[in-house]
């Protein structure tokens, strides 16, 4: 790892800008670790630019477009002013990432041709999602709330922000881990998409009150309308009772997506223990978060924080490590968490779609 391009960046910067992904990255096989980490840092830098309130949306879009050009051409000369313009608005770890963005791009540019093409594809999809959001939603201080229109738009949003990563993850595993070369690749890519969409839908539900207060509603306007609600109504915590049917439907959808993540994880060869754990950990955390979402008294209350205690995360890591080579054991553990989340919805067992 010491000689891998960008190894120092992963050591020095990544833990400060991602707690959950840093866990999976640390356990990944070395043949995957470097490019996954550098790709994540580029996506994280773009997200930092997209989120800054120091610049108007049009200027943020310009900087993201410059980063997209650098990703395509492996040339970061147009990004020299990004750190100066954006970094002061962010935490120290994010500032360091932006300041070292030319180094991140250099490490990315050193990746082999086929790997570079895979990383470029997923990065262009992720950054296009950021451009779409800046175009669709009002500025954070505008006082208005924009919304996705339909469930199909929500599916597209979860694909472009995370489902595409499942495809990238699958393609890289097939290319670099010989034991995965026997996979049914179209099936595993499709499962990877659903897995990523489920994790992103968990984020949508968890972050609902925070997103609403910066003018973003990812709950579809058409679904809200069937409940007699408009996006702006969700700024009032007392609206929660009327919103619960839609929340329950979306939690059920997230559970069905994450069940594909369970099947994905169990399809990783048992001798690929590190790759299995890197898939299992976000799955376990996602399922636990869903249960806590349903336990929350009022998901619209901005003072309510849905968070898994570190002790519970450590328990998941330890138990999954003990069960990693057992399909029966790991499958039963993930299923148990899914059933627990389903019971929070009032079901006696897993909802339709969970096996």
Q: Where are the domains of the chain?
A: 1-112, 137-355
Assign 346 a pLDDT band (cuts: 50, 70, 90): very low
**177 and 278 Cβ atoms separated by less than 8 Å:** no
Assign 340 a pLDDT band (cuts: 50, 70, 90): confident
Beta bridge partners of 62: none
Rounded CA-CA distance 111/116 in Å is 6
Say whether pLDDT at 88 is over 70.
Answer: no
Coil, helix or strand at residue 146: strand
Say whether pLDDT at 238 is over 70.
Answer: yes
Average pLDDT (38-60) is 93
Q: Which two tokens stand for residue 342?
A: 């389903």
CA-based diameter of the chain, in Å?
A: 59
Rounded CA-CA distance 22/11 in Å is 10
Average pLDDT (63-88) is 79
Angle of CA points 265, 267, 272, to nearest 5°: 80
Token match 């754990």: residue?
Answer: 277
Q: What is the pLDDT of residue 351?
A: 43
- Please write the tens of the pLDDT for every residue from 167-177: 999 999 999 99
Closest CA to 46 of 71, 22, 24: 71
Token match 């408009």: residue?
Answer: 230
What is the full DSSP assignment across 223-256?
HHHHTT--GGGGGSGGGHHHHHHHHHHHHHHHHH
Rounded CA-CA distance 273/257 in Å is 23
Token match 């050193």: residue?
Answer: 110
Q: Provide the CB-side half-sphere exposure for 32 (13 A, CA).
A: 23
Assign 275 a pLDDT band (cuts: 50, 70, 90): very high
**275 and 192 Cβ atoms separated by less than 8 Å:** no
Would you say how long the chain is, in residues? 355
- Burial call 4-16: b when 16+ CB within 10 Å, e when fewer: bbbbebbeebbee
In CATH, what number does 137-355 get?
A: 1.10.600.10
- Please write the tens of the pLDDT for every residue from 103-159: 899 999 998 889 999 999 999 999 999 999 999 999 998 999 999 999 999 999 999
pTM summary value: 0.92
Q: Which of 46-50, 79-83, 202-206 has the lowest mean pLDDT?
A: 79-83
């Amino acid at each position: 790892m010491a000689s891998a391009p960008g190894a120092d960046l992963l050591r020095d910067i990544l833990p400060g800008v991602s707690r959950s992904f840093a866990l999976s990255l640390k356990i990944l096989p070395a043949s995957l670790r470097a490019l996954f980490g550098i790709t994540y840092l580029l996506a994280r830098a773009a997200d930092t630019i997209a989120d800054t309130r120091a610049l108007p949306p049009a200027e943020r879009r310009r900087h993201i477009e410059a980063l997209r050009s650098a990703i395509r051409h492996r040339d970061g000369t147009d990004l020299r002013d990004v750190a100066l313009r954006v970094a002061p608005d962010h935490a120290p770890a994010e500032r360091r990432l932006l300041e070292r963005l030319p180094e991140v791009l250099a490490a990315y540019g050193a990746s082999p041709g086929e790997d570079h093409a895979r990383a470029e594809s997923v990065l262009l999809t992720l950054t296009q999602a950021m451009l779409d959001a800046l175009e669709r939603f009002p500025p954070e201080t505008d006082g208005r709330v924009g919304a996705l229109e339909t469930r199909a738009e929500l599916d597209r949003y979860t694909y472009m922000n995370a489902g595409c990563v499942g495809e990238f993850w699958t393609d890289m595993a097939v290319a670099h881990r010989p034991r995965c070369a026997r996979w049914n690749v179209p099936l595993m890519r499709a499962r990877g998409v659903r897995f990523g969409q489920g994790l992103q839908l968990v984020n949508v539900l968890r972050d609902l009150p925070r997103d609403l207060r910066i003018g973003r509603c990812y709950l579809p306007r058409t679904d809200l309308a069937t409940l007699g609600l408009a996006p702006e109504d969700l700024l009032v915590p007392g609206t929660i009772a009327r919103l619960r049917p839609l929340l329950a439907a979306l939690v059920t959808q997230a559970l069905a997506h994450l069940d594909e993540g369970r099947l994905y994880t169990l399809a990783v060869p048992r001798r690929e223990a590190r790759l299995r754990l890197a898939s299992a950990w976000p799955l376990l955390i996602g399922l636990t978060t869903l249960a806590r979402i349903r336990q929350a008294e009022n998901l619209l209350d901005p003072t309510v924080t849905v968070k898994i205690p570190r002790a519970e995360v450590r328990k998941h890591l330890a138990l999954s490590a003990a069960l990693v080579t057992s399909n029966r054991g790991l499958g039963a553990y993930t299923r148990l968490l899914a059933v627990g989340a389903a019971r929070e919805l009032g079901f006696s067992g897993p909802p339709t779609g969970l096996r």
